[in-house]
Structures are given as C-alpha cells and as structure tokens.
Structure 1
Amino acid sequence: MLELNVKGNLLSYIYIKNVIKAFLFSTFAFLAFSQHTDAANLDKSIFYVSNNGSDSYDGTIDAPWRTIQKAADSLKPGDTVYVRGGTYAEFVSITNSGSKEEGYISFKAFPGEIPVLEGENLTIKSGNRALFHLENTHYIILKGFEIRNLSTDDSKKYPTGILVSEGGSNIQLLNNHVHHIKNMSKKGNAHGILFYGNSSQKMSDIKIENNNIHHLTLGSSESLTLSGNIDGFTISRNSIHHNNNIGIDVAGFYDACETNCLDQVRNGTISYNKVYDNSSGKNPVYRGSHSAAGIYADGSTNIEIKNNFIYNNDFGIELASENYGKQTSYISAKNNVVYNNNGAGIIIGGASVSNGGAYKNVVTNNILSFNDQLKEGYGEITVQWNASENQFINNVIYSKNKKNIIQQNDPNENSNLFINNSIYAFEKQPSLTKRITTKIKNIFNEKDDD
C-alpha cells in the first residue's frame, strides 16, 4: 500500500506539474502573439499585407497593404511584415536590407495561414524572372510562403521561384513550399531556388531550411542551386523531390562572376535533407539519359554533406567538376543513407578525361544500399576520371550485384584509398536492413551521428 501511495502521489505531482507547464506555455504564446499584433500600433515595426488591403493604407493589422511589393519597398531594418493567407499574383523584388545592429527585415506568413505567390498568369519579362528576387540584400528572412506555377516555353527565359543575386549576406529561406516552376522548352532552364554569386562581393551566411521543393521542370538546371562567389552556407532539413533534374547543386567555375572574385561555392554544410525521385530520364534536354544526382558538388570545396537520406534519384551523391582542369575538393560525405538510385550511390570524378575531377574528398560512414537499379554497371561506388587522393573509409555497402560493386574507370590511378568498407552481396534485393532503418530514424529524429 505504501508503494502504491507513493506512486499515486508521484503521478499526481507529475500531472499537476505538466498542467502548469502547459498553461504557462499557452499563456506565453498568447501574450507573445498579442504583442506582435499590437506592436504595429506601438512602434510601427510590425506590418501586414492582405488581399483585403490597399497599398494606400498604413500597413497595420486593421489597415493592411495589398501587395507584398509595397512591403518590400517600405520595410526598414528590424521590421517584420506578416502576409495573410490568400493568393498574390506578383513578382516581388526585394532590395532593402536589414542590418546587424538593427535586425533582419522579415517577410513571414501570418501564423496559421499560407500566403501563395502565384505565377500562373504572370508573364516573364526582362528583370522579372523570379517570384521572389533578392538583389544585393543583407539580413533578410523569407518564411512560410507557397511559391508556385511560374512557367514558360521560351528557351531564352529563365523562371525561378526564389532568386538571390548580386551579392548578399545573412539570408534565411525557411519553411517555404516551392513547386511547379517550369521551362517547357527543349533547351530551357529553370530553378526552384537559386543563389547566384555573380558579384565581386561574396555571398555569405546563407541558411536554407525546412523548405519543400518539388515538381519542377528544370531543363539543364537544378532544383536548389548555389553557384559562384558564395562563402558560408547551410542547407538543412529540406525535402527535394519529383524534379526532372538534380536535387541540390553547389557549383563553381561556371563564370558566374568574371572579375575580382572566387567563382566557387565553399565552406558550407548540407545536412538532414531528404532528396528523392529526382531524375532526368524524361527530361528532353537529356534525351533519355539518367544523369540527375540527388546531391551534386560540382567544382565546390570545403563542404560537409552529412546525415542526408538520398533515394530513387539517378545518382545519389556526385563529387565532380564538369570543367577541365578544375576540381571538386575537400568534400566530406559522411553518415548519409544512399539507397535505390538508378546509377551509382556515390560517383566521383569527371565523366570523361576532358572533364574536371575530384581531389582529396573523404567518403566515410555512409550506408549504400541497392543502387545501380538500372544495371548499367555503375555499382555502388564509381570512381571516374581525374579523381585522385580521395578516401573511402568505413562505409557499409549492400548490393544485389556481386560484381563491380566498386567501379574504377582509370586503371592507372592508384592514389584513391579504400579502408575498412564492409560489403554484403545478395542474390535478390531484400527489404531494408535493421541497420538502414535505424540510421534513417536517427537522422530524422535529429540525432547527430558525428
């Protein structure tokens, strides 16, 4: 009886404690939001946009603006605009900046609502190619928008969901939903999100997190791309899927910026992303070739690719350069699950001797499982041309093909190192092993396997 009373008292105490905690949390949340809704009247730092508003209004919650562009033209460092749910058919150009001292300029969905930036009836013209275009801006947050349906069949036009260009720093893209951005021409280009480092002023402190990017028709381009003079970024916890070309691309040496700059994406992290069902197999530019990687480091350097789940793409992770004499270098690809891709799970080096290559990259502690689904001879790992001093350490490999599990194209290259990799071959592909399912759960339960 004593034991039961102790347990009963303990359970009562825990219950009361949890009730108090829940009450305090809900009260705090209510007060915090009340402060936000009242702040516009207090210090003019909180503004609102609504379909029922007018750009001649003051931008308060009771007299909101009508367009997001009005907010973009009006906000100052430290200001926030909450955009109410509804559809906004406009190109938005953001050129005002926040600052380190006074704070970010923030564009956010009103809590519990989804503002939709709709491109279906918009016409792409010179200067208007992206639904959101951030140009030489600093300290900007873009959070909670649905961005969709911008398309063209003109190969000379370049639709993009979110474009950041001409320098910029401390840019955060959070919780956005980007889909159905399309270039339908046979030689076209499109992007879901593009950071284009085309200035001598480097881009830095970029955060791209919790975005959903899907059903893009990309031509020769990619779903989420960083290219050019970019130094310092994180790409994390995004879902990138069902696109007809590469999922994530961090690139260099494509003449993004021509003078007084380092044309190479560098010093970043790509982690905890789910990248799947990206294939160029039905992309007319590729004429049936399955060439789209889930994650592609193309001429970039000093980047961690870790704790990602990459499956059902053409390739899993690709470390290479398409430009002769250039290298993807010092990439750490670790703790990823790379599963069921059409070609190699991990492929490095140039596709031919006339391409660039891969130098001093480290591939470690990954699980590669049942890749080369199209049986084209890639195996689980393919080392192509111009690949030197790369290391493959402690990877676990499951394959249904007992031959060519590790494929090396250049018989004269002997500087690449393979140590302590575990290989398991099967006659038929079994269901996912416990090791794989546990790894996936660890990744998406935010348990860092460093």
Structure 2
Amino acid sequence: MTRGAGREGSLKGTCGLFTCLLLLACEPEMPAADRPADEQSPQQVSQPAPVPEEPSPPPQSSPPAPTPPTPPPPVPSGRSWYVSTKGSDTGAGTLEAPLRTIGRAATLAKPGELIRVLPGVYPEELVLESRGTDVAPISLRGEGSPRPTLVPKDKVRSAVIRVQGRWNLENLHIDVGGARMFAVLFDATANQSILSGSELRAGTSGAGVYLEGARDITIQNNTLHHFIKPGDDAHGVVVVGPSRNIVIRSNDIHHNSGDSIQCQAGTAPAESVLIEGNTLHDEGENGVDIKQCLRVTVRDNVISGFPNTAIRAAGSSAGEAVVIHASARDILIQGNSISRAGRGVSVLNGGTPVENVRVEGNHFRDIRNIPAGNGQGIRIAGARNVKVVDNILENTASYGLMLAADGGVVTGLEVRNNFLRGGSQPLLLRLGAERFRPGLVQRENHYALGGVLKADGEDFPGEQLTISSPEKLEVWRRVLGVDQGATVLE
C-alpha cells in the first residue's frame, strides 16, 4: 500500500537507515536528451490541476464473464436457390435453371433455406429483409473457387449488403471498389446473424462492417482490408450502441485508415462485445478503440503495427494497440500479443473516468516512440479500479509501465507480478505523485537489472533510481512503501 499521512514522522525516526539507502541510490540523472518525451499525444487530454484527495473507490464489479464458443450456424433445412451469372430471374432457381441475381433469390427464400451463389461478379446492392422473429436463418453462401464477388451497382445505398433480421453470410468476396459505402451493415433489426469466411475490401466510408444497434451478431474468419477514407477514419469493424452480444473472432483486419475495431456508443452504449483470436495489424490509427462501451473482452489477439504512416500521417492518434476511454466500463484485456505500436494499452480519462479494467497476461514488445511522446507499454492516465497483472513488457521506447503520471487520478490501482525489461532506453516504470494514485497496491513485480524506476516527487536524485543491484530495488521498496516481493531479473 502507499504511505499514509504519517509518513514524514516515520521517516524522521529512521533517517539514518534512509541516509544509507539513499547513498546507494545516488546516481547521475539520465540526460534529458536520452529520455523520450512524456508529452501527451494528440489523443491525450491536458493535465488538470492537482485535485483533492478522493473518497474511497466504489466496490469493483466483476470482470466480463467468459463467453462460450459460438455454436455453428444451423444447417439449412429447406430448399436451395441457385444464382449464376448465366441464369435468369425468370428461372426456377434450380441448378439447371438458376436465377440471375442474388436480390431475386433473397426475395424468394424462406427461413431455413439456402441461397447458393456460383462464381462470377454480381453488381448488386442488397437489402436482406427480416422474415419475422423466432424464425430460422436464411443462408447466403458463395460456392466454388474463386468465390463469387459482389460489387456496388448504382452506389445509391449505404452498404453493398444491409442485413435485417436473421441471415448467415458465408464465403463471399465483397469489393466495394472505392465507393463511399460499407461492405456489410447490420442494422437495428438484425439479430442472430453471422458473417463468416469472407473477404471484404476497398471502401471509402467509415468502416468495412458496421453494426448499428444489432444484437447477437458473429463476425468470424473473415479478412477485412483497405477501407481507406483519405485523411480520415475508416475502420475495419465498428460496433455502435445499443448493439449487444457481438462476437468478433478469428478475423484478419489490416491496412485501414482508422482502427481495426472500434466500439462506441450510439443512442446507448454498446454492451457485451468479445474480440477474440483476431490478427489486427498495420492500421492508420489503432488496433482496438473502446469508448462508452460496457463489458468488452479483448482476448488472445495478435495486435501489431500502429500507426501505419504509409496509410495515415502520424499524429491523428497515439497508435495504440488498445485504447480505453470515454467512460468505458468492465473491460478485460487478456492474453494478447502486442508489438510495434505507439503504445501498448492506454487507459485515458476523457471526462467521466473509465472503470473496472483488467490488463492481464499480455506480452508487449517493440513499443515505439511514434508519434513522438509515446512508447509506453501500458499507460494509465485516469481511471477507477484498474488491475495490471501478469504481463510481460520488453523493449519499450519509453516506460514499460506509466501509471498515474499524467495529472489524472487513478484510484484502486493494483500492479502485480509483471515482468519488465527495457529497450535501448532502460525505462521500466514511472509512477505519478502519491496524490494521483490513492489506494495503490504494487507488489511482486520483476525488474531487469540496469532498468530505471521513476517516482514523481520522490527523494531519489532526479526522482529516479537505476537498479544496479538488488540493494537498489530495496531502496525503491523502502522509500515508496510498495513492491513487496519484487525481484531483480538478471
């Protein structure tokens, strides 16, 4: 725990011990030219004036519950409708007499039936209408190799495919061809729908897949790439509230001008979103951006390559692998491999604090100072009830952990059993001044030999300490009153 109000008196009684300890700690301060800047990135808010001590934080709610595996889509039980570029919309829709357009087949198909689209290019803009509640899905499946390609026809709609009701979309190639359209839009009437095994590319609207108040949607095993809005955001997947129960799993999302995945509020927060097992990389801004969303899990993803300055000039974001802000709540970041990002994970205070975040068991490496002023593995700049446990952080351009050092209060912060190894700049940990981290629990962390620990406002020369021996780590423990059980990594 951090030291209490009686710290000054207790230190006076042990000044001899601390004098000896501080003599061990006396080392030259790292030259300013050798320290990465800690200025805030364009996403960061300005530092507020010091705030008075806050009351005890409210009890922390439980982290998001594990999400069960998504069951396979129901096997179509009804007839099959065939579509071919050689068909006719006056045909019977059989393999021998296929229909010409997917739109015609979608009009004729009933719940439980299957539309089988043969290879070819289909210029269409589809509205897949609801067949009512509590009915079996209609499946729309691409057949053969290469799989069929859908392209915009008149470019008068907002999406190449708009889903209403319950539909399964499988094995399609959707090429938006530079049009200002989404590839797939799930609107507020969409429910229990699946998009799987498809490739979506090359739109210039705000996203490849857009979920606008949809419920119980799975986006799985797809490739989404090159949604680029010049000088602006175009994300791979956007989840807008009040969407809920959304699964985004095992997709490859890359080379878009915004984020791989963005979760945001609409008329209400988005809720219960699972982002699992994806490869998210080389975007113009961030990997996962979570704002005003509730109960979001980001688990077992490979997240790397932000910002991609070949797509978007540096400066529109900090290039975070994961950024959590704007009153998001109940967030779990677990088991991810994170590399080549401007920051690994950022928790930011954009007015209403973020609450109940757990960053656990992730591996951070090669975190870069791009754009300038970044390079932190985990940066907590204002929140309530944050746990940072069991992470590995190595080769970060700036501090592996930067905690409550941006002028915002972080209450209920627990930092435990993390392994920190520096890069060319051996900066391992920076703690903000004590008033910005009430209730801090910090213990059993492991620091590389030669690494630098910094505590704002403390009595080390230059407010920092270089771990040149286990005894130096003991100085840190005694002066800060934290990190019991910490060890030095050889």
What's the TM-score, normalizing by structure 1? Answer: 0.70
Distance 1:393 1:62, change over 3 A: same
Contact 1:84 1:113 in 2 (8 A): no
Contact 1:150 1:161 in 2 (8 A): no
Q: 2:97 aligns with which of 49, 53, 63?
A: 63
Distance 1:337 1:264, change over 3 A: same
Q: 1:391 aligns with which of 387, 392, 404?
A: 387
* Residue 376 of structure 1: how far off its partner (Å): 2.1
Q: 1: distance between equivalents of 2:362 and 2:396?
A: 18
Residue deviations 1:395-443, cap 9 Å, x none?
Answer: 11012436464253125434322111110113389xxxxxxxxxxxxxx
Residue deviations 1:344-383, cap 9 Å, x none?
Answer: 1001123xx5x44411111100011121342523411122
* Residue 168 of structure 1: how far off its partner (Å): 2.1
Q: Which residue of 2 aligns with 1:230?
A: 243
Q: Which residue of 2 aligns with 1:441?
A: none
Q: 1: distance between equivalents of 2:187 and 2:181?
A: 14
Q: 2: distance between equivalents of 1:240 and 1:402?
A: 27
State the AA in 2 paired with 1:396. I
SS at match of 1:69: helix
SS at match of 2:193: strand
Deviates more, 1:229-238 or 1:219-228: 219-228
Distance 1:178 1:393, change over 3 A: same
Q: Which residue of 2 aligns with 1:54?
A: 88
Distance 1:403 1:110, change over 3 A: closer
State the AA in 1 paired with 2:322. I
Q: 1:191 aligns with which of 180, 192, 207?
A: 207
**Greater RCO (CA < 8 Å, at least 6 residues apart):** 2
* Residue 303 of structure 1: how far off its partner (Å): 1.9
Q: 2: distance between equivalents of 1:362 and 1:405?
A: 14
For 1:181-220, what aligned pairs fall within 5 Å after superposition? 181-182=203-204, 189-197=205-213, 203-218=214-229, 219-220=232-233
Contact 1:77 1:99 in 2 (8 A): no
* Residue 167 of structure 1: how far off its partner (Å): 2.3
Q: 1:270 aligns with which of 255, 269, 275?
A: 275
Q: Which residue of 1 aligns with 2:337?
A: 337
Q: How many residues align?
A: 336
State the AA in 2 paired with 1:71. A
Distance 1:395 1:304, change over 3 A: same
Q: Which residue of 2 aligns with 1:27?
A: none
SS at match of 1:312: strand
Residue deviations 1:213-233, cap 9 Å, x none?
Answer: 001114334220110112212
Q: Which residue of 1 aligns with 2:292?
A: 299
Q: Which residue of 2 aligns with 1:134?
A: 163
Q: 1: distance between equivalents of 2:322 and 2:389?
A: 16
SS at match of 2:338: strand
Q: Which residue of 1 aligns with 2:202?
A: 180
SS at match of 2:216: strand
Q: 2: distance between equivalents of 1:92 and 1:402?
A: 49
Q: 1:422 aligns with which of 409, 419, 439?
A: 419
Contact 1:307 1:335 in 2 (8 A): yes
Q: 1: distance between equivalents of 2:417 and 2:137?
A: 47
Q: 1: distance between equivalents of 2:80 and 2:280?
A: 36
Q: 2: distance between equivalents of 1:115 and 1:397?
A: 44
* Residue 118 of structure 1: how far off its partner (Å): 1.4
SS at match of 1:73: helix
State the AA in 1 paired with 2:155. I
Q: Which residue of 2 aligns with 1:151?
A: 178
State the AA in 1 paired with 2:147. I
Q: 2: distance between equivalents of 1:44 and 1:307?
A: 37
Contact 2:234 2:257 in 1 (8 A): no
* Residue 82 of structure 1: how far off its partner (Å): 0.5
Distance 1:195 1:402, change over 3 A: closer
Identity %: 20
Q: Which residue of 1 aligns with 2:149?
A: 116
State the AA in 2 paired with 1:319. I
Q: 2: distance between equivalents of 1:402 and 1:148?
A: 40
Q: 1:312 aligns with which of 305, 318, 341?
A: 305
Deviates more, 1:166-175 or 1:92-101: 92-101
Q: 1: distance between equivalents of 2:105 and 2:255?
A: 33
Contact 1:77 1:98 in 2 (8 A): no
Q: 2: distance between equivalents of 1:377 and 1:192?
A: 29
What's the TM-score, normalizing by structure 2? Answer: 0.65
SS at match of 1:370: strand
Contact 2:233 2:257 in 1 (8 A): no
Q: 1:251 aligns with which of 261, 264, 268?
A: 264
Higher helix content, 1 or 2 = 1
Residue deviations 1:255-288, cap 9 Å, x none?
Answer: x33xxxxx11111311000000001xxxxxxxxx
Contact 1:88 1:115 in 2 (8 A): yes
Q: 1: distance between equivalents of 2:236 and 2:187?
A: 16
Residue deviations 1:306-364, cap 9 Å, x none?
Answer: 0000000221011112xxxxx111111100011111x11001123xx5x4441111110
Q: Which residue of 1 aligns with 2:185?
A: 163
- Does structure 1 residue 381 correspond to structure 2 residue 378? yes
Determine which structure has more spread, i.e. the larger CA radius of gyration. Answer: 2
For 1:66-81, what aligned pairs fall within 5 Å after superposition? 66-81=100-115
Unaligned runs of 5+ in 1: 1-35, 153-157, 183-188, 198-202, 258-262, 280-291, 322-326, 430-450
Provide the alpha-carbon RMSD of the alignment. Answer: 2.2
Q: 2: distance between equivalents of 1:116 and 1:378?
A: 41
Residue deviations 1:167-217, cap 9 Å, x none?
Answer: 2211100011001111xxxxxx421000111xxxxx322111001000111
Distance 1:293 1:79, change over 3 A: same
Q: 2: distance between equivalents of 1:240 and 1:410?
A: 35
Distance 1:205 1:413, change over 3 A: closer
Contact 1:348 1:357 in 2 (8 A): no
For 1:11-90, what aligned pairs fall within 5 Å after superposition? 45-90=79-124
State the AA in 2 paired with 1:390. V
State the AA in 2 paired with 1:345. G
State the AA in 1 paired with 2:172. F
SS at match of 2:332: strand
Q: Which residue of 2 aligns with 1:286?
A: none
